[in-house]
Amino acid sequence: MKFFIDTANLEDIIKANKIGVLSGVTTNPSLVAKEGVKFEDRIEEICQSVPEVESVSAEVTPDAVTAKEMIAQAEELIKINGGDDKITIKLPMTIDGLEACRYLSKKGVKTNVTLIFTVNQALLAARAGATYVSPFSGRLDDISEDGVQLVSKIAELFRVHQLDAQIIAASVRHPDHVTRVALVGAHIANIPYSVIDQLSKHPLTDEGLEKFATDWKKSI
Ligand code: E4P
Protein backbone atom coordinates (compact mmCIF):
# COMPACT_ATOMS: atom_id res chain seq x y z
CA MET A 1 0.00 0.00 0.00
CA LYS A 2 1.22 3.46 -0.90
CA PHE A 3 0.74 6.72 1.01
CA PHE A 4 -0.83 9.93 -0.21
CA ILE A 5 -0.82 12.90 2.13
CA ASP A 6 -4.15 14.63 2.63
CA THR A 7 -3.32 18.30 3.01
CA ALA A 8 -2.69 21.57 1.22
CA ASN A 9 -0.01 22.49 3.77
CA LEU A 10 3.35 22.72 1.98
CA GLU A 11 5.46 22.16 5.09
CA ASP A 12 3.69 18.90 5.91
CA ILE A 13 3.99 17.73 2.30
CA ILE A 14 7.72 18.44 2.25
CA LYS A 15 8.26 16.76 5.65
CA ALA A 16 6.46 13.58 4.48
CA ASN A 17 8.39 13.55 1.23
CA LYS A 18 11.73 13.83 3.05
CA ILE A 19 11.20 10.45 4.70
CA GLY A 20 10.55 8.85 1.33
CA VAL A 21 7.03 7.60 1.91
CA LEU A 22 5.07 9.91 -0.30
CA SER A 23 3.46 8.75 -3.56
CA GLY A 24 0.88 11.49 -3.91
CA VAL A 25 -0.96 14.48 -2.48
CA THR A 26 -4.68 15.04 -2.19
CA THR A 27 -6.39 18.31 -1.49
CA ASN A 28 -10.03 19.29 -1.17
CA PRO A 29 -11.85 22.64 -0.89
CA SER A 30 -11.81 22.51 2.94
CA LEU A 31 -8.06 21.80 3.08
CA VAL A 32 -7.21 24.59 0.62
CA ALA A 33 -9.49 27.06 2.46
CA LYS A 34 -7.67 26.25 5.71
CA GLU A 35 -4.37 27.43 4.18
CA GLY A 36 -5.82 30.79 3.02
CA VAL A 37 -4.05 30.57 -0.35
CA LYS A 38 -5.14 30.75 -3.98
CA PHE A 39 -6.11 27.25 -5.05
CA GLU A 40 -4.29 27.13 -8.41
CA ASP A 41 -1.13 28.68 -6.92
CA ARG A 42 -0.99 26.10 -4.15
CA ILE A 43 -1.47 23.20 -6.59
CA GLU A 44 1.44 24.53 -8.64
CA GLU A 45 3.59 24.97 -5.52
CA ILE A 46 2.83 21.39 -4.49
CA CYS A 47 3.77 20.03 -7.94
CA GLN A 48 7.03 21.92 -7.79
CA SER A 49 7.86 20.92 -4.22
CA VAL A 50 7.37 17.18 -4.72
CA PRO A 51 8.02 16.53 -8.43
CA GLU A 52 8.59 12.81 -7.90
CA VAL A 53 5.06 11.92 -6.73
CA GLU A 54 2.65 10.14 -9.09
CA SER A 55 -0.44 12.24 -8.37
CA VAL A 56 -1.55 15.61 -7.03
CA SER A 57 -5.34 15.76 -6.70
CA ALA A 58 -6.98 19.08 -7.48
CA GLU A 59 -10.70 19.07 -6.78
CA VAL A 60 -13.19 20.90 -8.96
CA THR A 61 -14.78 23.65 -6.89
CA PRO A 62 -18.25 23.23 -5.36
CA ASP A 63 -19.71 25.78 -7.80
CA ALA A 64 -18.99 23.42 -10.70
CA VAL A 65 -22.15 21.34 -10.58
CA THR A 66 -22.76 20.18 -14.15
CA ALA A 67 -20.42 17.90 -16.07
CA LYS A 68 -19.78 20.74 -18.48
CA GLU A 69 -18.71 23.06 -15.65
CA MET A 70 -16.49 20.41 -14.09
CA ILE A 71 -14.82 19.67 -17.44
CA ALA A 72 -14.25 23.39 -18.05
CA GLN A 73 -12.52 23.69 -14.65
CA ALA A 74 -10.54 20.50 -15.21
CA GLU A 75 -9.26 21.78 -18.52
CA GLU A 76 -7.80 24.81 -16.71
CA LEU A 77 -6.46 22.78 -13.78
CA ILE A 78 -4.52 20.37 -15.99
CA LYS A 79 -2.61 23.30 -17.48
CA ILE A 80 -1.11 24.11 -14.06
CA ASN A 81 2.63 23.47 -13.87
CA GLY A 82 2.97 23.22 -17.64
CA GLY A 83 0.43 20.43 -18.16
CA ASP A 84 2.07 18.17 -15.59
CA ASP A 85 0.61 14.67 -15.93
CA LYS A 86 0.53 14.15 -12.18
CA ILE A 87 -2.39 16.57 -11.83
CA THR A 88 -5.38 14.41 -11.00
CA ILE A 89 -8.84 15.87 -11.27
CA LYS A 90 -10.86 15.12 -8.19
CA LEU A 91 -14.55 14.86 -9.01
CA PRO A 92 -17.58 14.43 -6.78
CA MET A 93 -19.51 11.17 -6.80
CA THR A 94 -22.54 12.49 -8.68
CA ILE A 95 -24.03 11.63 -12.07
CA ASP A 96 -22.41 14.78 -13.48
CA GLY A 97 -19.14 13.90 -11.77
CA LEU A 98 -19.24 10.48 -13.46
CA GLU A 99 -19.94 12.05 -16.84
CA ALA A 100 -16.97 14.37 -16.37
CA CYS A 101 -14.88 11.39 -15.22
CA ARG A 102 -15.71 9.42 -18.36
CA TYR A 103 -14.90 12.40 -20.60
CA LEU A 104 -11.61 13.22 -18.88
CA SER A 105 -10.40 9.65 -18.59
CA LYS A 106 -11.01 9.11 -22.31
CA LYS A 107 -8.76 12.13 -22.87
CA GLY A 108 -6.06 10.49 -20.74
CA VAL A 109 -6.53 12.80 -17.73
CA LYS A 110 -6.12 11.16 -14.32
CA THR A 111 -9.26 11.29 -12.15
CA ASN A 112 -10.11 10.67 -8.52
CA VAL A 113 -13.78 10.19 -7.72
CA THR A 114 -14.34 11.38 -4.19
CA LEU A 115 -17.00 11.14 -1.47
CA ILE A 116 -17.62 7.44 -2.02
CA PHE A 117 -19.63 5.70 0.69
CA THR A 118 -20.96 2.55 -1.01
CA VAL A 119 -19.59 -0.31 -3.09
CA ASN A 120 -21.98 0.57 -5.91
CA GLN A 121 -20.63 4.12 -6.07
CA ALA A 122 -17.11 2.72 -6.36
CA LEU A 123 -18.23 0.33 -9.11
CA LEU A 124 -19.82 3.16 -11.08
CA ALA A 125 -16.71 5.34 -10.72
CA ALA A 126 -14.42 2.52 -11.84
CA ARG A 127 -16.61 1.81 -14.85
CA ALA A 128 -16.62 5.53 -15.69
CA GLY A 129 -12.83 5.25 -16.02
CA ALA A 130 -11.65 6.68 -12.69
CA THR A 131 -7.93 6.29 -12.03
CA TYR A 132 -8.63 6.41 -8.29
CA VAL A 133 -11.75 5.97 -6.18
CA SER A 134 -11.86 7.47 -2.69
CA PRO A 135 -14.06 5.72 -0.13
CA PHE A 136 -14.17 7.90 3.01
CA SER A 137 -13.74 5.17 5.59
CA GLY A 138 -13.22 7.47 8.59
CA ARG A 139 -16.39 9.42 7.98
CA LEU A 140 -18.36 6.14 7.99
CA ASP A 141 -16.76 5.19 11.30
CA ASP A 142 -17.77 8.64 12.58
CA ILE A 143 -21.42 7.64 12.11
CA SER A 144 -20.88 4.17 13.64
CA GLU A 145 -20.63 2.30 10.35
CA ASP A 146 -17.67 0.16 9.30
CA GLY A 147 -15.45 2.12 6.91
CA VAL A 148 -12.78 -0.58 6.66
CA GLN A 149 -15.43 -3.11 5.66
CA LEU A 150 -16.42 -0.82 2.79
CA VAL A 151 -12.80 -0.66 1.58
CA SER A 152 -12.58 -4.45 1.89
CA LYS A 153 -15.72 -5.01 -0.20
CA ILE A 154 -14.57 -2.58 -2.90
CA ALA A 155 -11.19 -4.33 -3.05
CA GLU A 156 -12.89 -7.71 -3.42
CA LEU A 157 -15.23 -6.42 -6.14
CA PHE A 158 -12.36 -4.86 -8.10
CA ARG A 159 -10.44 -8.15 -7.86
CA VAL A 160 -13.40 -10.28 -8.98
CA HIS A 161 -14.13 -8.03 -11.96
CA GLN A 162 -10.53 -7.09 -12.69
CA LEU A 163 -11.16 -3.36 -12.47
CA ASP A 164 -8.06 -1.19 -12.70
CA ALA A 165 -9.11 1.76 -10.53
CA GLN A 166 -6.91 2.17 -7.46
CA ILE A 167 -8.60 2.41 -4.09
CA ILE A 168 -7.60 5.39 -1.98
CA ALA A 169 -8.76 4.75 1.58
CA ALA A 170 -9.63 8.31 2.52
CA SER A 171 -10.37 10.09 5.78
CA VAL A 172 -8.12 7.63 7.57
CA ARG A 173 -7.80 8.88 11.13
CA HIS A 174 -5.37 6.69 13.12
CA PRO A 175 -2.63 4.03 12.80
CA ASP A 176 -4.91 1.03 13.36
CA HIS A 177 -7.06 2.29 10.50
CA VAL A 178 -3.95 2.35 8.28
CA THR A 179 -3.05 -1.26 9.13
CA ARG A 180 -6.60 -2.45 8.57
CA VAL A 181 -7.12 -0.76 5.19
CA ALA A 182 -3.72 -2.09 4.05
CA LEU A 183 -4.65 -5.65 5.05
CA VAL A 184 -7.97 -5.57 3.19
CA GLY A 185 -6.37 -4.39 -0.03
CA ALA A 186 -6.47 -0.58 -0.27
CA HIS A 187 -3.86 0.49 -2.82
CA ILE A 188 -3.31 3.82 -1.09
CA ALA A 189 -3.98 5.32 2.34
CA ASN A 190 -4.73 8.99 2.26
CA ILE A 191 -3.59 10.45 5.56
CA PRO A 192 -2.67 13.73 7.22
CA TYR A 193 0.91 14.30 8.43
CA SER A 194 -0.17 13.76 12.04
CA VAL A 195 -1.05 10.13 11.21
CA ILE A 196 2.25 9.59 9.32
CA ASP A 197 4.00 10.83 12.47
CA GLN A 198 1.95 8.52 14.70
CA LEU A 199 2.80 5.55 12.47
CA SER A 200 6.49 6.02 13.30
CA LYS A 201 5.94 5.89 17.06
CA HIS A 202 5.70 3.30 19.81
CA PRO A 203 6.19 3.85 23.57
CA LEU A 204 8.67 0.94 23.69
CA THR A 205 10.75 2.61 20.95
CA ASP A 206 10.95 5.75 23.12
CA GLU A 207 11.68 3.70 26.24
CA GLY A 208 14.39 1.75 24.39
CA LEU A 209 16.01 4.95 23.17
CA GLU A 210 16.02 6.42 26.67
CA LYS A 211 17.61 3.26 28.07
CA PHE A 212 20.32 3.27 25.36
CA ALA A 213 21.03 6.94 26.12
CA THR A 214 21.25 6.32 29.90
CA ASP A 215 23.47 3.25 29.49
CA TRP A 216 25.69 5.07 26.99
CA LYS A 217 26.28 7.93 29.45
CA LYS A 218 27.37 5.38 32.08
CA SER A 219 29.93 3.87 29.69
CA ILE A 220 31.75 7.15 28.91
C1 E4P B 1 -10.23 12.70 0.62
O2 E4P B 1 -9.74 12.82 -0.46
C3 E4P B 1 -10.46 13.77 1.56
O4 E4P B 1 -9.64 14.88 1.25
C5 E4P B 1 -10.15 13.41 2.99
O6 E4P B 1 -9.52 12.16 3.15
C7 E4P B 1 -11.29 13.64 3.89
O8 E4P B 1 -10.88 13.45 5.21
P9 E4P B 1 -11.74 13.97 6.43
O10 E4P B 1 -12.94 13.08 6.54
O11 E4P B 1 -10.81 13.81 7.60
O12 E4P B 1 -12.11 15.39 6.16
Q: What is the pLDDT of residue 98?
A: 98
Nearest CA to ligand 1 atom 11: 171
CA 212 – ligand 1 centroid, Å: 39
Residues whose beta carbon lies within 6 Å of some atom of ligand 1? 6, 26, 28, 114, 134, 136, 138-139, 170-171, 190
Nearest CA to ligand 1 atom 8: 171
pLDDT tens digits, 158-181: 999 999 999 999 999 999 999 999
Q: Which of 6, 132, 177 to mutate to test the pocket of ligand 1 (most atoms within 8 A of CB)?
A: 6
Active site residues: 90
Which ranges of the chain have pLDDT less than 70?
none
Q: Which of 3, 190, 193, 194 to mutate to test the pocket of ligand 1 (most atoms within 8 A of CB)?
A: 190
The ipTM value here is: 0.95
Q: What is the pLDDT of residue 84?
A: 84
Q: What is the pLDDT of residue 67?
A: 98
Q: Which of 5, 9, 28 to mutate to test the pocket of ligand 1 (most atoms within 8 A of CB)?
A: 28
Q: Closest ligand 1 atom, CA of 170?
A: 6
Q: What is the pLDDT of residue 6?
A: 96
How is 115-156 classified by DSSP, letter by letter? EE-SHHHHHHHHHTT-SEEEEBHHHHHHTTS-HHHHHHHHHH
Q: Going by C-beta distance under 8 Å and a sequence separation of 6 or more, which residues neighbour residue 38? A: none
Q: What is the pLDDT of residue 219?
A: 86
Q: Going by C-beta distance under 8 Å and a sequence separation of 6 or more, which residues neighbour residue 167? A: 122, 132, 133, 135, 151, 154, 155, 158, 185, 186, 187, 188
Fold of 2-219: TIM Barrel (3.20.20)
Enumerate the domain spans of the chain: 2-219
∠ Cα 16 35 110 (to 5°): 60
Q: At what angle do helices 119-127 and 147-160 cross, to 10 degrees?
A: 40
